[in-house]
A = this chain, B = another copy of it.
Amino acid sequence: METKTSKIGFSIKEFYNFSLIEFVIKGGIIDPSDLKNVELPPVPYNKGAAISGRGPVWLYANLAHLLHPARWVGTYEPRMNSIIVVASHVNHPQPGDVIPLE
């Protein structure tokens, strides 16, 4: 019997105008086929969604796609301790905007 178990764990921290979604790759190693079993936890779509974690660009691009229904999508940039907005359905913020984490 094959059981599908996600190799990617998530934790969510709520901020006033966005959710910070941090992923952890269990065992530290991920294969592209693991994208088939991503189980994103419920994320509020009435604010932004920011992605954080150590992982390949294709995981980031996949998660950004899955979070598309959020008001906007961003990625956490550790070197700036900030969220970089990469997609938006609203006037503010827009792609390229930088939201410092406090």
Residues of A within 8 A of B (CB): 32-36, 51, 56-58, 60-62, 64-65, 68, 73-75, 77, 80, 84-87, 94-98
Asked if residues B86 and A35 are in contact (CB atoms below 8 Å), the reply is yes
* A95-B35, A98-B32 known; A65-B87 Cβ under 8 A: yes
Number of chain copies forming the complex: 2
- For residue A22, give the distance in angstroms from its CB to the closest CB of chain B: 14
22 pairs across A/B with beta carbons < 8 Å?
A32-B85, A32-B96, A32-B97, A32-B98, A34-B96, A35-B84, A35-B85, A35-B95, A35-B96, A36-B94, A36-B95, A56-B77, A57-B75, A58-B77, A60-B61, A61-B73, A61-B75, A62-B95, A64-B65, A65-B68, A65-B87, A68-B68
